[in-house]
Amino acid sequence: MSGEHTSAPVAARVRRLEERLIEAGVVGEEQLDAALAAMLKGASPVNGARIVARAWVDEGFRARLLDDANAALPEVGLSMAGGIQEQRLKVVENTETAHHVIVCTLCSCYPIGLLGPSPSWYKSEAYRSRVVREPRAVLAEFGLELPADTAVTVWDSSAESRYLVLPRRPDGTAGMSEPELAALVTREGLIGTAAV
């Protein structure tokens, strides 16, 4: 699934909107570029990986993160601020019996600051519609086969709320440092379309 979809229709609509705003004199091209650069500055899946690694090694942080992610993020030097209002972040934890995956069925809302720019498949209509209806089939297309008794929950992001998956810590990593653990975490693991 990851390679067969494109975000061209979404990109075309965004570009038309940008052109209309520029033509109407609401904003200039340079202002749009500056706003995008500011939004993406420091945005990377490395941020989400740091959160996960800390949660894996610090039980207190993990509990605070699951209880109130927005309040816990400053402990690792991050926040959900950056727009007009702070976005709400909910972290959902994968366990032996529960697996979570995130989507935005209306557009492509996504915690950019924690995961970097979203992959094209995340924005595709096929992913957005199918993962809600048949999550196991979509996850299998990503190569993630879950046991039949694992409950799968799909979390739908919105303009105000974002989600991040706390993947299960891989076996055999007990002696690894926090940076070594962070290096194991992928963007797909943070979305829930892959295990770590």
Q: How far apart are CA 133 and CA 109, in angstroms?
A: 19
- Type of residue at 69: A
Closest CA to 155 of 192, 123, 121, 186: 192
Q: How far apart are CA 187 and CA 196, in angstroms?
A: 10
In this structure, what are the phi and psi dihedrals at residue 15, rounded to the nearest 5 degrees?
-65, -40
What tokens appear for 185 in the block?
């975490």
Count Cα atoms within 13 angstroms, Cβ side, for 48: 32
Instruction: List helix spans (H) across the chain.
Output: 8-23, 29-40, 45-57, 59-67, 69-72, 112-115, 120-123, 125-133, 135-141, 178-182, 187-191
Looking at residue 117, the DSSP 8-state letter turns out to be S
Q: Which residues are known catalytic residues?
A: 104, 107-109
How many Cβ atoms sit within 10 Å of the Cβ of residue 168? 16
What tokens appear for 97 in the block?
């019996």
